[in-house]
Amino acid sequence: MSTSSGAPNPANPSSADNFRPGLAGPITGDHSADTLIPGTAVTEILAGYTGKSFKVHTDLLKSRSPYFANLFSAPVPGAAVPIASPLSFPDLDEFAFALFVRWLYGADLHGPKDFHGMQHYMCLYILATRFRIERLKNDVMDQARGYYRRNNMTAPAYRLEYVYESTTEPNHLRCFLVSTAAYRYLCEQRGEPKLSDSMRGVLAKGGDLAADFAEALARLHQNELVDVRRGPDCAFHDHVETPACKERAPEPYE
């Protein structure tokens, strides 16, 4: 873990984030009060197969992520924490990590705008799951559902396979994507429902994806074919560490 001295915040995440425009807002002074932290220590993190470097205030990582809070916690108060520097996460998408750093420093997530953006947001959800950041997971789910709703999209086989291979436990992203695929099969095909060759291929492998697809079909029959792209955001949130959403009247688009 490397350290630097001087003004504690904010760091300059935009200098090294390899950021694709439109996916999140800028770092502005409006958010600085939320990201003020006492320490000046900075952790270097290498993300993706290219080892893209990101330098983030250590106390900010600890305050936002239980994963990093545990990683940097000392077994004895005041003892040094033997953390190798830099930290490396070669399996995490570097563009998703850039989004994560922007989010850490107070930028708003704007959501995906195209195929590539959706992939980065899926990777961001996987990152948030790894780092146990409930608030970020909820935000990403809102953005992903909004993108699918606006574009009347459902999840193709390769997206389902990627998410199931990249996560090890049931989660809202799995549930949402597999439910859209089941909805497409039952409600959006002309004529007799038929699985695509790609979908048939991933389901033939069995496992959680096949079981969840069957359960999603059953749920659709039970709930009168409700489209999961619509409805309250909170249905796809976790609220163990974050406050529950306030009840509100649904918007027309929901």
Within 10 angstroms of residue 142's Cβ, the number of other Cβ atoms is 16
Q: Is residue 183 part of a domain?
A: yes
Report the chain's mean pLDDT, rounded to a whole number.
85
Q: Is residue 71 part of a domain?
A: no
Q: Is residue 180 part of a domain?
A: yes
**In the prediction, which pLDDT does 123 show?**
98
With 0-12 / 13-18 / 19 or more C-beta atoms within 10 angstroms meaning exposed / middle / buried, residue 181 is buried
Q: Is residue 192 part of a domain?
A: yes
Q: Is residue 92 part of a domain?
A: no
Q: Is residue 117 part of a domain?
A: no
Question: Over the stretch 83-120, which tens digit does the pLDDT of each residue have?
Answer: 667 999 999 999 999 999 999 999 999 999 999 999 99
pLDDT at residue 39 greater than cutoff 80: no
* Single pTM value for the model: 0.83
Q: Is residue 21 part of a domain?
A: no
DSSP reduced 3-state for 30: helix
Q: How far is CA 215 from the centre of its chain?
A: 24
Number of domains in the chain: 1
Q: Is residue 141 part of a domain?
A: no
Question: Over the stretch 188-234, which tens digit does the pLDDT of each residue have?
Answer: 877 777 899 999 999 999 999 999 999 999 999 898 889 999 999 99
Q: What is the distance between the alpha carbons of residues 156 and 161, in angstroms, rounded to a whole number?
A: 9
Range of the domain at 160: 154-238
Helix axes 172-187, 134-150, angle to 10 degrees: 20
**In the prediction, which pLDDT does 27 show?**
59
pLDDT at residue 15 greater than cutoff 70: no
With 0-12 / 13-18 / 19 or more C-beta atoms within 10 angstroms meaning exposed / middle / buried, residue 30 is exposed
**Can you state the percent helix, strand and coil of the chain, rounding each to 5?**
50, 5, 45
pLDDT at residue 139 greater than cutoff 80: yes
Question: Over the stretch 42-61, which tens digit does the pLDDT of each residue have?
Answer: 999 999 999 999 999 999 99
